[in-house]
Amino acid sequence: MKIKVHEVPEGGMQISLAGQAITIHSKSLIINEPIDGKLLVQKQGDRDLHIRGSLSTRILLECGRCLSSFGHPVKSEFYVDCTPMVKGPIRQEYRLSGEDLNLHFYQGDTVDVDEIIESQIHLETPMVPLCQTDCKGLCLVCGENLNEAPHVCIK
């Protein structure tokens, strides 16, 4: 989903995420449930947008211990300031110094909302996903999933 900056009315607009086609580029991010939520888009000056949003979905993760797949609920409330990408030393430096997730640079006249949503979901993704907090992992001897009791290891 894309927003044309010049088409945003002065009073702002609201976008419902339900039913929208949202393209996720990262192969490691598997969306398991349609993304729900809404965005409130407001214009700031001529070229900048302030987007306030909330989203909820479910992603598929692989447990870092037992390697089983599990659904992980994601809920996020966020805001992002969108500003045109300007080539030049000052902006470039600005851009590199802060991987600022509340700042989104767009090209031309188009804000790619999917990119914003994708990075917000990434933020909510645990670094080491666990299917359960006390996941027992895999047996070091036979490789069986130790959560599936009873485990009798045949050495």
- Which residues are near Zn ion by CB under 5 A? 63, 65-66, 131, 135, 139, 141-142, 144, 153
CB of 73 to Zn ion, least distance (A): 17
Closest CA to 63 of 118, 136, 151: 136
Q: For the CA atoms of 53, 63, 30, 126, what is the dihedral angle to 10 degrees? A: 20
C-beta closer to Zn ion: residue 14 or 69: 69
C-beta closer to Zn ion: residue 114 or 144: 144
The residue with tokens 């995420």 is 17
C-beta closer to Zn ion: residue 103 or 139: 139
C-beta closer to Zn ion: residue 50 or 58: 58
> Is 106 exposed, middle or buried (CB count within 10 Å of its CB: 0-12, 13-18, 19+)?
buried
CB of 54 to Zn ion, least distance (A): 29
C-beta closer to Zn ion: residue 49 or 131: 131
CB of 68 to Zn ion, least distance (A): 5
Phi/psi class of residue 65: alpha, beta or left (left: φ > 0; alpha: ψ in -120 to 50)? alpha
Residues with Cβ within 8 Å of 113's Cβ and at least 6 positions away in sequence, in order, are 1, 2, 3, 15, 22, 39, 51
CB of 38 to Zn ion, least distance (A): 34
CB of 69 to Zn ion, least distance (A): 10
Question: What is the three-class DSSP state of 86?
Answer: coil
